[in-house]
Amino acid sequence: MNAVTPPITVLAGTAVPLRSSEGLGWQGFGAALVGIGQGTHRIAGTAQHRVGIHVGTPVRANCVCDGHRHARIQAHGDADVIPAGVDGVWTDDAHCTVLRVWMSDDFVRATSEQLALTAAQRQLRPQLQLRDPRLQHLAWALQAELEASEASDPLFAESLCSAMVVRLLGNVPSMQNRRYALTPRTAARLVDYIECHLDQRLTLAELAALVDLSVPHFKVLFKTTLGQPVHRYIVARRVERARHLLLNSGLAASQIALDSGFAHQSHMAHWMNRILGVSPRDLLRERG
């Protein structure tokens, strides 16, 4: 992955947003790519849980967080985990870039409760310079969503963020003794529900509750049963609906995009090209 260099307008002791999830339809969580100026930054505790992942060239940094001091060389992918209400002071000896991910307490609590953890296990704890390849992989996927010309369905970002929460909580009970496929009847009910609600916002929590499963377990069973992750299946079904309407309905492409669950016409075109290899215009010409 290419390192991101903050623009030269980033001043010492300041932070400048470079990319943001605002406007992408993410709910209960978010992310931003931020240019950080050399110097000292005091960050007050917030109602959200935060993860800051260093992007690019290593930087020497000192921090004080939750009463602990830590001096380090902050390398690409190193993460600081700051639970809600915890503040701190960070001092960087050069400009740097940070991917900031935040989750509401409701989002974290809902995920942790579904994992059947004890009250103590549900608590996120402060961690400085966390080096976890799996967490990095999820973070870079979120960053790719911020930088994409056409973002994926918000369901994909929700899946990534819920996986980050599971990774940060640790001590997750093994699924060794749980079933690994949905029953045919349950799968059919789920597929019918998705088909009837393709034009609406669908969330992992909503779909998992429909079949009385936790979100983490639901994601595993869905992929095993239907052969694709949840978000990919739903996007594929939206593309298929759009294809059918473009060929048969006579509706305008902009209306078909909305009726198929896409944010707008260019969003539909992006996914049709990616999945089918044809554009809406190609299909309209085929319809004649």
Closest CA to 218 of 179, 160, 170: 179
Q: What is the mean pLDDT of residues 6-30?
A: 78
Query: Is residue 157 within 8 Å of 23, Cβ to Cβ?
Result: no
Beta bridge partners, 70, equal: 63
Write down the pTM of the prediction: 0.77
Looking at residue 276, the DSSP 8-state letter turns out to be: T
Superfamily of structural domain 15-169: Jelly Rolls (2.60.120.10)
H or E element that contains 116: none
**Using CA atoms, how far apart are residues 167 and 176, in angstroms rounded to an integer?**
17
Residue 43 phi/psi, 5-degree rounding, is -115, 115
Looking at residue 286, the DSSP 8-state letter turns out to be: H
Q: How far is CA 79 from the centre of its chain?
A: 16
The pLDDT tens digits of the residues spanning 148-188 come to: 877 778 888 999 999 999 889 876 555 554 557 888 889 99
The pLDDT tens digits of the residues spanning 132-156 come to: 999 999 999 999 999 887 777 888 8
236: number of Cβ within 10 Å: 14
Q: Exposed, middle or buried by CB within 10 Å (0-12, 13-18, 19+), for 210?
A: middle
Closest CA to 168 of 42, 275, 48, 82: 82
**Using CA atoms, how far apart are residues 136 and 219, in angstroms rounded to an integer?**
20
Query: For the sheet containing 39-43, what is the strand order?
Result: 39-43, 88-92, 59-65, 68-74
Supply the angle between the helices 230-248 and 184-196 in degrees, to the nearest 10.
50
For the chain, the average pLDDT equals: 87
Does this chain's domain 15-169 share its CATH topology with 232-287? no
**Domain-wise residue ranges, the chain:** 15-169, 184-227, 232-287
Looking at residue 239, the DSSP 8-state letter turns out to be: H
The pLDDT tens digits of the residues spanning 186-243 come to: 999 999 999 999 999 899 989 999 998 888 889 989 999 999 999 999 999 999 999 9
Architecture of domain 232-287: Orthogonal Bundle (1.10)
The pLDDT tens digits of the residues spanning 81-126 come to: 999 999 989 999 999 999 999 999 999 988 887 776 666 677 888 8
Q: What is the mean pLDDT of residues 54-71?
A: 89
Res. 4: pLDDT tops 60: no
Closest CA to 208 of 221, 198, 192: 221
Query: For the sheet containing 127-130, what is the strand order?
Result: 15-20, 29-36, 96-104, 48-55, 79-82, 127-130
**Using CA atoms, how far apart are residues 288 and 247, in angstroms rounded to an integer?**
9
**Using CA atoms, how far apart are residues 178 and 261, in angstroms rounded to an integer?**
33
Closest CA to 30 of 169, 149, 148, 160: 160
